[in-house]
Structure 1
Amino acid sequence: MSNNISIKRLSGAALIDYIPELARLRILVFRDFPYLYDGDIEYEKKYLQTYINCPESVIVLAFDGDKIVGASTAIPLKYETDEVKQPFVEHGYDPEQVFYCGESVLDKNYRGLGIGVKFFEQREAHAADLGGFKHITFCCVERSVDHPRRPADYVPLDTFWNKRGYVKHPELKTTYTWKDLDDSIETPKPMTFWLREDHA
């Protein structure tokens, strides 16, 4: 990893000072495929408030000097919304024993430096510090292979996730709703979960 990059792990109210910059970064990165998210600052601030309110949450920040260039979130599944918890409940998982990794966003100029690995390592370390989790999970959006905005050189992150020990679970699905760049209204998007077995 570049010597210019530093990684910081924060929880709860320690995030307050970083919310505006985190919101800006999320909107910027999530405009790209596969999310194509047409976001706004006020929604992002409200979303990130969940992590401020939960003392067991974590956000891992990547800095280039004083500038935030990446962020990665996670929280015990029991604090998440019903749309996130329900697939696990329906398939016999105990939400108390699942740790949920929200998302990772990274300025494209800083990719390929090992920061994505650090994001997973730090979130997994936080889960271990909290203790009691049998599974760590995250979800990703499903887009068709012939989607008109799919870049010709787009490479899914499946291999990277597999190397981290995560396995795709097609039976664990939910939907998130947001407005795509080409749409005038919000529409539901299919999301599929990936799991890694952990030791409680």
Structure 2
Amino acid sequence: MITTRILTGEAVGEVLEDLARLRIAVFRDWPYLYDGDLDYERDYLKAYQSPGSVVVAAYDGQRMVGASTGAPMEDHAGDFAAAFAHRPEKLDEIFYCAESVLLPEYRGHGLGHAFFDGREAQGRALGRRYSTFCRVVRPDDHPAHPADYRPLDGFWRKRGYAPLPGVIAEFDWKDIGEASSTKKPLQFWMKSL
């Protein structure tokens, strides 16, 4: 039986180690191809202990099998403010739906909706007007692109999200098999709450 839990405040800190391991496992796959390490993950995930942040976690018994994170956009201003510099929305009006990670064997059972529902509810509770997330952009002819890969664009559109033209951030990480980190483009999508 899969259950979900909405975690805020101190409860977030209690699951960061599980979340770090899950991110490393899931993000090794396309399109991220992330060669992660626990030290980096622990440091990165500290941002989700801020007031207003949320983790929506999925459990199979006591084992975390999926999770999604969200936070007020200004908590990520250092990374994403430049991408929104020409937009009319103010950062303090936006709730940022960060990553969603789910082990492959648990996909297709509605947890993606639970992840968005929990994060969007947190955004509304904080009085945010918009919800946004970003997805990594890789070329279709990338050598690691799986032939059977199905992008989630249709799922996101059904939830009311649309890509924001020209709102692209860049983020560094090390791909599997690479010697060093390189910048990757991240396309933002948004909807009104």
TM-score normalised to structure 1 length: 0.94
Q: CA deviation at 1:81?
A: 3.5
Write the letter of the residue equivalent to 1:163: K
Q: Map 1:20-169; keep pairs closer than 5 Å.
A: 20-52=17-49, 54-131=50-127, 133-169=128-164
SS state at 1:90 partner: coil
Deviates more, 1:23-32 or 1:72-81: 72-81
Q: CA deviation at 1:48?
A: 0.8
Q: CA deviation at 1:18?
A: 1.2
Q: Map 1:175-190; keep pairs closer than 5 Å.
A: 175-190=170-185
Which sections of structure 1, spanning at least 5 residues, go unmatched?
Answer: none
CA–CA distance in structure 2, aligned partners of residues 81 and 33 of structure 1:
26
CA–CA distance in structure 1, aligned partners of residues 145 and 71 of structure 2:
30
CA–CA distance in structure 2, aligned partners of residues 14 and 85 of structure 1:
28
CA–CA distance in structure 2, aligned partners of residues 147 and 181 of structure 1:
13
Which sections of structure 2, spanning at least 5 residues, go unmatched?
Answer: none
Question: C-alpha deviations, 1:127-155, integer Å up to 9, x for none?
Answer: 11111x22110001100001100001001
SS state at 1:147 partner: coil
2:192 paired with 1:197: yes
CA–CA distance in structure 2, aligned partners of residues 81 and 12 of structure 1:
20
User: Percent of aligned pairs with the same residue?
Assistant: 46
Q: CA deviation at 1:91?
A: 2.2
Q: CA deviation at 1:87?
A: 1.6
Would you say how many aligned residue pairs link Structure 1 and Structure 2? 193
Calculate the aligned-residue CA RMSD, in Å.
Answer: 1.0
Q: Which runs of 4+ in 1 moved over 3 A?
A: none
2:4 paired with 1:7: yes
Deviates more, 1:167-176 or 1:23-32: 167-176
CA–CA distance in structure 2, aligned partners of residues 42 and 81 of structure 1:
22
Write the letter of the residue equivalent to 1:35: Y
CA–CA distance in structure 1, aligned partners of residues 54 and 13 of structure 2:
12
CA–CA distance in structure 2, aligned partners of residues 23 and 83 of structure 1:
19
CA–CA distance in structure 2, aligned partners of residues 16 and 91 of structure 1:
33
SS state at 1:81 partner: helix
Write the letter of the residue equivalent to 1:47: Y
Assess if the C-alpha contact under 8 Å between 1:176 and 1:188 holds in 2: yes
